[in-house]
Structure 1
Amino acid sequence: MKVLWLCNIMIPFIARSLGQKLVVKEGWLSGLSDKLIENRDTNKIALAICFPTSDDFHMAQNDQSLFVKDTVRGVPYYMFREDTVHPENYDASMEQTLKAVIDDFQPDIVHIFGTEFPHTLAMVKAFGNPERTLIGIQGLCSAIAQVYMADLPSNVCKKKTFRDIIKKDGLLEQQEKFVQRGKYEKEAIAMAGHITGRTDFDREYAEKLNPNAKYHFMNETLREEFYHDSWNIDRIERYSIFLSQGNYPIKGLHHVLDILPDLIEAHEETMLYVAGDVITANDTLKDKIKISGYGKYLLTQIRKNKLQDHVKFLGRLQPDRMCARDLKTHVFVCPSAIENSPNSVGEAMLLGVPTVAANVGGIHNLLTDNKDGLLYKPDNPQQMKQEILRIMDDDKLAMSLSSNARSHAAHTHNPDLNYRRLLEIYHEIDHSI
């Protein structure tokens, strides 16, 4: 059986072969691809992978054909050009490009990971075979668009910095871009014959958009680094809080900054660590020119409440550093306005980091409230504060949540179970025609 993957990123084993920096997101692709490749003699699956690249990548610069093809670890891969910086724009020429990839590899099944980029719709159209098209739902742009501002004050939503004006990328414009991306997403899901998901949230969404598609339940395998260690209360930085990112409003960083003064009042050693792009940088002239409206609002919150010594932005973390930060953390917090099944929560739970999360989207399918984590109502930051303090003030509770989280996540993210489930789905699709 020949299976063509369409991914949003260059998978790490391909990036390493090209000497490229590893992308820190969508880490589950590595675990699944490794399993397929290592067991190809028994699973009888020939895998190929295609993914977008920009025009400034040297291999794309030197080759003006529709795609660039090479092989690593016996796996053919195809790079095609796409403006991923502006995913709100649909480029119909991608259909021709992806049709050329399909004609070259002749797949039995096309497996598309995610609906966030217009290449998903282009591939569905280019393949033209819904009964052999499988879309894996990750985040949902159309759902994100509805809650993008995450209760930001209306005046903040309307403000623009110099950077926002030049890039036409203020908060309202960012929200509109998600609306547009959501349109491509809905069209792609409506045209697919098969969909994978893992939460009540994505199942209901998929069935609403395409009641005729076959929904396949499948959990995700996470990054290898998070399977080998465990949280220990004797090794943590007491009263430390960790957010995996806070780059844009739906991630809810502003809500955590709102309650941080109260947490500091309760425990003066409280520290908030935030991974991801440092959008609050404001030291140099270049920083001041580049700061976004949301970044400026976060910076205002920090300065107004004198939080400079209690907030540290870590930048993008490779898996080993993310894992190390998790293990030092007293409370992992996911304050997002919407999530499907965030891998950052899954990774924290795999390690046993006590977790507090907004009860949105599919979170409740990952985390059982008051057993292996604590949930709070998304419109109630004060409840978030109370749940964080419950963990900080009760080591017995923290250790109980930690132990239960590890057990739950070890099953949810079991690499062998998830690999076998993927094979079942592929064979079901292949034999259903």
Structure 2
Amino acid sequence: MRILWFAITPCGAAEKLTPGSFTAGWLAALEQQVKHDPFIDLSVSFYYNGKMDPFEYKSVQYYPVSRGRGQTKLAKLLDRLEAYQSNRDERYIEKLVKVIETVRPDVIHIHGTEDNFGLIQKYVQLPVVFSIQSLLTPYREKFFSGIPYNVASSKENLSSKLLVDSVRNNFFLFSKWAKREVEMLKPARFVIGRTSWDKRATRILAPKSLYFVGNEIMRNSFYRHEWKKQAFSPTIKIVTTMSGGLYKGLESVLKTAAILTCHNFDFQWLVVGQTESGKYPQMVQRWLKKDYSANGITFLGSKTESELVDILCDADLYCQVSHIENSPNSLCEAMLLGMPVVATFAGGTDSMLENGLQGMLVQDGDSYSLAGAIKELAEDFEKSRWYGQNARQTALERHDPKKVANEIIDVYKEIYSLVNKIEI
């Protein structure tokens, strides 16, 4: 059975394209499992910033689709301006259709609804299945949950506005893409998800679709290492991993840290994925008028997979602070390691972590509750370790590579059987 993936990353081909900086994400890990199944002939198509012919690498055929002008500031500005053009998607869909005509797949698997891949449904009669990652439409409702629009707009750098990367610009594009997502999901016949949240949301957004469960494979190092502390550090080390974005909860980190500081709680809060001089950290600091270092917060920037594992295994607690998520990989990775975890009850996090058994869930945006949960965990090591052990056991089962691959392959087989009215 020929399967064609459309993905926002090169998946396993990243090892060939960026050999010096390659880190295997969850799609590359899934590809590694799926491609070895004798029932599957896998091809992958992705957008690539440059021109490149199709190529084969480690038993998978790749079809890069050129999009983007480069990495210079001018190139990025021109790409952002192009994103506003009403006919932009149509120009690229023509290229995607040509890939489909070349591969002639039995099933098309679209990873995520954030990009325009799903628009190909208008032009092909082949079965298409969507994997849900985030869902832009409900995310849009939470876009300014952490930092209100008027605050974000007034506290952002002038350069963001000059480079068409302002809060207003980003929200406009996010809303545009959410509208496109609605258009793609409305006729969808098949959906793969993994949380009660994405299941409920897709019953509205994709009302005609069959819903399948398919979990994710995490990065290799998180299976091979384990949090094994025998006691908490005298200074409690808290770690949060986050990307940029108004709804990622950075202001919750600073608010919560300030509360803990006022109550003389001895801690250090490490933020991975952001730098203090970055756009969002600067915005939050200007708004709250609180100093990061004075409140125990240190920004570590981007880290490699092995560096992040070392940081987490040396820490005492992991905190997930987002205002909206589906199944955050950062939370799942901390659970895989067996860390004590406190997370915001937002989106699908309650499907990942059961409150009172595998960690603690607190109300989204409630800094006092989050501070109290951190303090509660820090004062009871045995309970925290028990949470972490339960979390690891659950995560190892949920993210078992062979189990996840079989879930996805079974979805392909069922779709193929339904479409062709045969049994496999």
The TM-score, its normalising length taken from structure 1, stands at 0.87
Q: Give the deviation of 1:144 after TM superposition.
A: 1.7
1:100–1:303 CA distance, 2 compared to 1 (3 A): same
Name which of 223, 234, 244 aligns with 1:247: 244
Tell me whether 1:275 sits opposite 2:272 in the alignment.
yes
Over the aligned positions, Cα root-mean-square deviation in angstroms equals 2.2
- Matched residue of 1:104: which SS? helix
User: 2:44, 2:249 → 1: CA distance?
Assistant: 34
Name which of 150, 162, 166 aligns with 2:162: 166
What residue number does 2:44 align with? Answer: 49
Amino acid at match of 1:112: I
User: 2:27, 2:375 → 1: CA distance?
Assistant: 35
User: 1:123, 1:229 → 2: CA distance?
Assistant: 41
What residue number does 2:120 align with? Answer: 123
Does the 8 Å CA contact 1:221/1:415 hold for their aligned counterparts? yes
Amino acid at match of 2:342: V
1:153–1:136 CA distance, 2 compared to 1 (3 A): closer
Q: Give the deviation of 1:102 after TM superposition.
A: 0.8
Q: Percent identity?
A: 25
User: 2:21, 2:186 → 1: CA distance?
Assistant: 33
Does the 8 Å CA contact 1:236/1:328 hold for their aligned counterparts? no
Name which of 209, 213, 216 aligns with 2:212: 216
Please list the CA deviations of residues 339-382 of structure 1 after superposition, one character each: whole Å capped at 9, or x if unmatched: 10111111100111111111011110000001101001113211
The TM-score, its normalising length taken from structure 2, stands at 0.89
User: 2:242, 2:99 → 1: CA distance?
Assistant: 35
Name which of 49, 52, 75 aligns with 2:60: 75
What residue number does 2:71 align with? Answer: none
* Count, aligned residues: 404
Q: Give the deviation of 1:183 after TM superposition.
A: 1.0
User: 2:310, 2:144 → 1: CA distance?
Assistant: 31
1:179–1:219 CA distance, 2 compared to 1 (3 A): same
Point out where structure 2 has 5 or more consecutive residues left out of the alignment. Answer: 69-75, 420-424
What residue number does 1:135 align with? Answer: 130
Q: Superposed, which structure 2 residues align to 1:219-238 within 5 Å?
A: 219-234=215-230, 238=235
Point out where structure 1 has 5 or more consecutive residues left out of the alignment. Answer: 282-290
1:246–1:96 CA distance, 2 compared to 1 (3 A): closer
- Matched residue of 1:192: which SS? coil
- Matched residue of 1:340: which SS? coil
1:301–1:22 CA distance, 2 compared to 1 (3 A): same
Tell me whether 1:186 sits opposite 2:171 in the alignment.
no
What residue number does 2:9 align with? Answer: 9
- Matched residue of 2:311: which SS? helix
Q: Give the deviation of 1:126 after TM superposition.
A: 4.1
Q: Give the deviation of 1:69 after TM superposition.
A: 0.2
Amino acid at match of 2:302: R
User: 1:247, 1:151 → 2: CA distance?
Assistant: 12
Q: Give the deviation of 1:115 after TM superposition.
A: 0.8
Please list the CA deviations of residues 184-217 of structure 1 after superposition, one character each: whole Å capped at 9, or x if unmatched: 1111112321100011111111110121111111
User: 1:31, 1:19 → 2: CA distance?
Assistant: 16
Name which of 347, 351, 361 aligns with 2:337: 351
User: 1:73, 1:235 → 2: CA distance?
Assistant: 45
